[in-house]
Amino acid sequence: MKALLIVDLQNDFLPNGSLAVADGDLIIPVINELQHYFDIIVATQDWHPPQHKSFASNHEHKKAFDEIVLNGQQQTLWPDHCLQNSHGAALSSALHQEKICAVFRKGMNPEVDSYSGFYDNDKRNTTGLNGYLKEMGITRVFICGLAADFCVHFTAKDALSLGYTTYFVEDATKAINKDHFMVQKKMLAEEGVIFTTSEAIKKPAL
């Protein structure tokens, strides 16, 4: 069994959002089309309280994209984004959501960030995604969404470590920093993540 995992396709990561990924909206039609090829589709959603310590606004004399150590973890400080119950936190209205079986929220603990769809960054708390996929009999996950070099990257790493055959759908993701992502891509491929495209998925072999 295979599942399509849509990572953080939320308004704040799209054009005009507070932490927009360049051209992030261009992947939405690709993801909408991909949904026709999966019976199980799940999504993740950043869901931060306003006092989240990954926000630069919650640290004196710090600005967005500064680096700090937060509870023993290296942490990039971000603009406020995906605040709980805000428009910015909502999944894009352009995303077809009728087939999404479940949405897993992350980043709710103000003391630790959560890039992966499976765990907080310190790996102490899970989102419940792994348990759900196991219960549904999923062995292969196809990951898409935003951003390729952060939440998609770490979701793929964790999916692989949890034993899933892990596919990274390249034309259904966008990176914040393309050069950074190219380094990550090489490492992910060496670890066993399979890079594919939406066109390849539409063929019966996958």
Catalytic residue numbers?
A: 8, 106, 151
What are the phi and psi torsion angles at 84 (to 5°)?
-50, 130
Q: How far apart are CA 186 and CA 189, in angstroms?
A: 5
Distance of CA 125 to the CA centre of its chain: 17
C-alpha dist (Å) from residue 100 to 40, 176, 184: 7, 25, 28
3-class DSSP state of 113: coil
